[in-house]
Amino acid sequence: MNDVFIVEACRSAIGKRGKGLAGLKPADLLGAVQKGALDRSGIAPERIDQVVGGCVSQVGEQSFNIARVAWLSQGLPIEVAATTVDAQCGSSQQATSMGATMIAAGVEDIVMTCGVEMMSRVPLGSATKDASPMGESYAQHFQPTSQFTGAAMIAEEYGITRADTDQFGLESQTKAIEAWKEDRFAREIVGIEAPVLDGSFQPTGDFQSIDKDEGLRATTLEALQGLNAVPGQEIHTAGSSSQISDGAAAIIMASEKACQEFGLKPRAKIVATTLVGVDPVTMLKGPIPATRKVLARAGLSVEDIDIFEVNEAFASVVLGWQKDLNIDPSKVNVNGGAIALGHPTGSTGARLITTALHELERRKGKYALIAMCCGGGLGTGTIIERLD
């Protein structure tokens, strides 16, 4: 197999529902980030062999192969093809694994992977609103549940209490605020020009530059303790669940041959990737077997990893994973996670890889492991190794 190198990774700032990015069409947001990745890398667009994108709600404004529509919306070369995949919340992490596999197999030399979700415009659940793919035969095997129920089941299984999840919510916010104060995210962000909206969600004709995550909130434990639990459970609140957000991210990977030919600097190597299936009822336990499998594939152990980015879909997802694998919490989501920053679902996988790469570079670490839980019972895993 060929080595696969990350040569560029960037993302938009993450917009709060209905705020800074909400006036953009998903294709325009993703296209701006795809273009941003190309510009930063210096790679001519026609050198990209394929684009693989991820998106969860592939309906309406996010339908018709959004990764391709985004590319064409920027006037980029028609000869460069794109595919959009659906692995639910893990979509752009799985897109990145698939892109990496193309290079590893020698099928392609330079691949862009990316993801987008504009939950302000295409709300979670839009794709199944009018018709569910789960019929009687599915129900014979599994009772369809929601992610909220899955998160509560994990809390119960691992003895995670409301006090634990409130504390976790506070720490996510505190770490993200600190990271922004130290300007740790600035290098990974592509500024986006977005229409200013009025109170009725209509464009005013003005534009604003969005380059800072909008979900952060200075909060206290007392404030978090006072929040109502989300419907159907007693543990998680808005302060310990991922936020509804808008965002996009893009990564460019290349083979050694392409790095040499085009003078690209390999910033990190893709060491191993995985996608695992888990019980679709508990749904969100995927990061546990994904971490075990990707570590085994890499021949590494938990202790070898400098930093973990495990998506904060809900606090219990990360806390349960941490307990199960006996992970040092000081290495986990060191700059905060989706509770504070937001979780524009289809883009989060590529966003986490982007953030992990920049944090490894900042602290001169070696390995980062990225894992996500995904609706329907999947878990994504990626290990990257920073190169000097």
Ligand X SMILES: CC(C)(COP(=O)(O)OP(=O)(O)OC[C@H]1O[C@@H](n2cnc3c(N)ncnc32)[C@H](O)[C@@H]1OP(=O)(O)O)[C@@H](O)C(=O)NCCC(=O)NCCS
CB of 59 to ligand X, least distance (A): 16
Residue among 84 and 147 whose Cβ is closer to ligand X: 147
Q: Count CA within 13 A, CB hemisphere, residue 92.
A: 34
User: How far is the first Cα of the chain from the last one, in angstroms, to the nearest whole number?
Assistant: 22
> What is the Cα–Cα distance from 73 to 60, expressed in whole angstroms?
16
Lookup: tokens for 14: 């993450």
Q: Which long-range contacts (CB under 8 A, 24 or more apart) does 185-188 make?
A: 185/213, 185/335, 185/355, 185/358, 186/211, 187/358, 188/9, 188/10, 188/11, 188/354, 188/355, 188/357, 188/358
89 flagged as catalytic: yes
Shortest Cβ 146–ligand X spacing (Å): 8
CB of 347 to ligand X, least distance (A): 12
Which residue's CB is nearer to ligand X, number 50 or number 243? 243
Given the complex with ligand X, which of 31 and 247 has the nearer CB atom? 247
10, 114, 236, 343: the active-site residue: 343
Which two tokens mark 180? 């922004």
Is residue 259 annotated as a catalytic residue, yes or no? Answer: no
H or E segment and range at residue 172: helix 162-181
Inter-CA distances, 170 with 59, 110, 147, 315, 322, Å: 34, 40, 21, 10, 17
Nearest distance in Å: CB 296, ligand X: 25
What's the CA gap between 335 and 328, in Å, rounded?
A: 15
The minimum distance between CB 223 and ligand X, in angstroms, equals 4
Please, what is the minimum distance in Å from the beta carbon of residue 131 to ligand X? 20
CB of 124 or CB of 325, closer to ligand X: 124
Q: Which residues contact 128 (CB under 8 A, 6 or more apart)?
A: none
C-beta of 89 vs 253, nearer to ligand X: 89
Q: By the criterion CB under 6 A, which residues form the site for ligand X? A: 89, 124, 147, 169, 173, 217, 219, 223-224, 227, 230, 238-239, 241-244, 313, 343, 345, 375
Q: Which is nearer to ligand X, 306 or 312 (CB)?
A: 312
Q: Is 114 a catalytic residue?
A: no
Q: What is the rounded distance in angstroms from the CA atom of residue 270 to the CA atom of residue 196?
A: 39
Q: Which of 10, 89, 114, 374 is catalytic?
A: 89
Q: Which residues are catalytic?
A: 89, 343, 373
